[in-house]
Amino acid sequence: MNFFQSTLFILSWFLICFSCSKTPNWSATFNEAGLVNVQELDSTIKVRLAYSSSNNVIGYDIYGDLNQAYLRPEAAKKLVIAQKNLQVHHPTHSLHIFDATRPRRIQQLLWDESELPIDQRSKYIADPQKGSIHNYGMAVDLGIWVDGVGLLDMGTVFDDFSVLSHITSEDSLLSIGALKPEHVHNRKLLRQVMTKAGFLSLSSEWWHFDAMERSSTKEQFDIVE
């Protein structure tokens, strides 16, 4: 890396850090867009946003002091139903949110900071120009928390972009020992609870669920910038 490239890299990193240090008024952004705080509808749903920490795919905090999950009312109501359905059969279990509404400015950061090759990137990170369903407030990333145990083991962590994150290949993965039976069971439990409440699963990410078809979402709602 020459002097010019080094200087450009340092300047770009400074600008990113500076922009992240200026914490937006998230509640105002989401309230103005007509979104609701999920925990105000059901306080038993757990929220620990991965992008409000350094424990995520790009390795640093991009949300700042945001520690609440917001969704469109249509999606939030379905999530409350999913939580109730889960706890009917598993009283010690709770849905655990990793990410909910993600403004497009954050989507752009994820896109720009990803180390995935461009031809692979759009398989896991929606192009900000087209928009992710997260950007519309109609998608949620989550797992299952068990009191006294912690998060159920799904075989990979949230935001893992390897083949092991796929849920449509469970049988073949299990047959070669890539996933343990408990991982398959846990993924199925999460998917059953969410789809029963009206969510749609994503084949490449066990944690991702859409509250509505992409085409309908784009017709009915605006992107949260």
- Asked if 44 and 79 touch (Cβ cutoff 8 Å), the reply is no
> Sign of the C-alpha dihedral, residues 43, 88, 194, 74?
negative
Q: Please check whether residue 139 is in contact with residue 78, taking contact to mean a CB–CB distance below 8 angstroms.
A: no
Structural domain of 177: 25-220
* Distances from the Cα of 119 to the Cα of 2, 60, 108, 123, 125, angstroms: 27, 24, 16, 8, 11
Asked if pLDDT for residue 181 goes beyond 90, the answer is no
pLDDT tens digits for range 31-46? 999 999 999 999 999 9
Sign of the dihedral defined by the CA atoms of residues 99, 107, 77, 26, in that order: positive
Q: How many domains does the chain have?
A: 1
Percentage of the chain beyond pLDDT 70 is 84
d(C-alpha 70, C-alpha 102), whole Å: 9
pTM confidence score: 0.84
Span of 126-130, 134-138, 213-217 with lowest mean pLDDT:
126-130
pLDDT, position 150: 97
pLDDT tens for residues 8-63?
A: 444 444 444 544 445 678 989 999 999 999 999 999 999 999 999 998 888 899 99
Residue 213 lies in a domain: yes
Report if residue 57 sits inside a domain: yes
CA gap 124, 55 in Å, rounded = 18
Q: Is residue 4 part of a domain?
A: no
Does any domain span residue 160? yes
In a domain, 2, yes or no: no
- Structural domain includes residue 6: no
DSSP 182: H
Query: Among candidates 61, 145, 148, 44, which has minimal Cα distance to 106?
Result: 61
Written as one letter, the residue type at 140 is: V
Does some domain include residue 47?
Answer: yes
pLDDT tens-digit profile of 105-122? 999 999 998 888 887 788
Q: What is the CATH number of the domain that holds 212?
A: 3.30.1380.10
